[in-house]
Amino acid sequence: MSDPHLTLEQTHALAMRILTRHRIGEAQAQAIADTVTHAERDECKSHGLFRIPGYVKAAKSGKADGHAVPLIKDLAPGVIHIDSKRGFAPLALKTAYAPLIERTRQQGIAAAGITNTHHFAALWPEVETLAGHGLVAFAFTAALSYVAPAGGTKPLYGTNPMGFAWPRQGHSPLVFDQASSASARGEIQLHLRDGKPIPEGWALGPDGAPTTDPEMALKGAQLCFGGYKGAAIALMVELLAGALIGDLFSFESTAADNGDGGPPTGGEFLLCIDPAKTNGAGSNALAHAEKLFEAIMAQPGTRLPSDRRYEARKRTPEEGITVAPVLYEELQRLAAQ
C-alpha cells in the first residue's frame, strides 16, 4: 500500500486542527502550521509534520505557552528584543520581521534577539524571508545538549544551526542552513523510526565509542561536522544565541527542560545587513554576487545551496506530499482527541 498522501492545503489544515485542539491558540498555531507546511512543501521532512507531536507535547506539559503574545522592545537604534513569553518561535519570528527590516534599511545593519522561546524548526524560513526583502541575513539558535565538544565524548552543545541568506535579483534568495553537528537530530530520529543505521561519523554511543545505531546515538553524543572546525561554529552559536542576547546555553536549557520531548527553551539571534548600504566601492553587490554563482554553476556536479528546496517547491503544490504511515497514524490520533 502506498504512503498516505496530502495536498499542501490538507497538510496545513491537519496541522491547524491538531495544534488548536491541544492548547495552542490561533495565532501561535497559524505561525507553526505555516512553518511546518513550508517544510513539507520544500521536502524538509525532519521539520515538517514530524514536528507536530513535539509542539503538542510542549503545550500540554505547560513548558510552552500556546497562547503567548510576543513582546517587542527597542534596545538600541539597531537592536530589537522580542520576548517570546514562552511561546513558540514561529510567531516570535513573524513579530520580528517588520521592525528588523525597517531598522536594517534605516541603519544598514540591525539585529534581533528573540528570547524565552521554543525553537523546533529549520532556520531557512527566517533568513529566506528577510532576504526576500533585499537583505543579507544570518540566524543562529542553540538547542538541548546533544553534541560533544571537540575531543570530548559527552553532550554539551546543541546541534546549533546557523542559516545564511543572500538576496538575488530575479531569483529566490541563495540560502544555506545547516546544523553544526554532522547531522540534525531529527535525521537520527527518522533513521530510528525507519529502522535504518546512521552513517559513520555522526555520533558516539554512551560508552564514547563511534556508533551507527541510531538508538545508541540518541543516548550518547552527536559529533560536530568537520571535527574542531564545526565545534568552533557550535561554540559561536552558543555565545550568540545564549550569552549575547541573554538566554540559555544548550546545557542550561537541558537542565531546565522537563523532558516532554517538545522544543526546548532558548534564544535565537538574527543579524541583518542591507547590501545597498555596505558597498563603499559603489558597485552593485547583488550583480557582483551573480558572477560567483555563475562560476560555481559552470562546474559540473555543483549546485547552489537551497536549489534542492526550490526544485521541490515547484513540484509539491501540484503533486502534494506523502506522510510516513506511522506518523500519519499518530497525527490522526492527535486530530481526533
Catalytic residue positions?
46-47, 187
Is residue 84 part of the contact set for ligand NDP (CB under 6 A)?
A: no
Nearer to ligand NDP, 70 or 266 (CB): 266
Closest by Cα among 54, 68, 77 to 24: 68
* Residue whose C-alpha cell is 539558535: 141
Residue 32 sits in the site that holds ligand NDP (CB under 6 A): no
Nearest residue to 221 via CA among 178, 142, 159: 159
Return the residue matching grid coordinates 509534520: 49
Q: Does 127 bind ligand NDP (CB under 6 A)?
A: no
Query: With binding defined as CB under 6 A, does residue 64 bind ligand NDP?
Result: no
Q: Per CB under 6 A, does 222 bind ligand NDP? A: no
- Number of neighbours of residue 260 by Cβ within 10 angstroms: 17
Q: Which of 91, 96, 110, 143 binds ligand NDP (CB under 6 A)?
A: 143
248 binds ligand NDP (CB under 6 A): no
Q: Going by C-beta distance under 8 Å and a sequence separation of 6 or more, which residues neighbour residue 260? A: 57, 58, 60, 61, 63
Of the ranges 15-23, 92-100, 107-115, 156-164, which one interacts with ligand NDP (CB under 6 A)?
156-164
Q: Using CB under 6 A, which residues numbered 164 to 183 contact ligand NDP?
A: 176-179, 183
Residue with cell 561536522: 225
Angle at 193 between CA 188 and CA 198, to 5 degrees: 35
Least CB distance to ligand NDP at residue 192 (A): 16
> Closer CB to ligand NDP, residue 5 or residue 303?
303
Locate all alpha helices (DSSP H) within 185-297, ordered by sequence. Answer: 185-193, 214-219, 228-238, 250-256, 285-297
133: left (phi over 0), alpha (psi -120 to 50) or beta: alpha
Residue from the set 30, 84, 116, 159 that interacts with ligand NDP by CB under 6 A: 159
The count of chain residues that interact with ligand NDP, using the rule CB under 6 A, is 24
Using CB under 6 A, which residues numbered 265 to 324 contact ligand NDP? 303, 305-309
Name the site residues for ligand NDP (rule: CB under 6 A).
Answer: 119-124, 141, 143, 159, 161, 163, 176-179, 183-184, 187, 303, 305-309
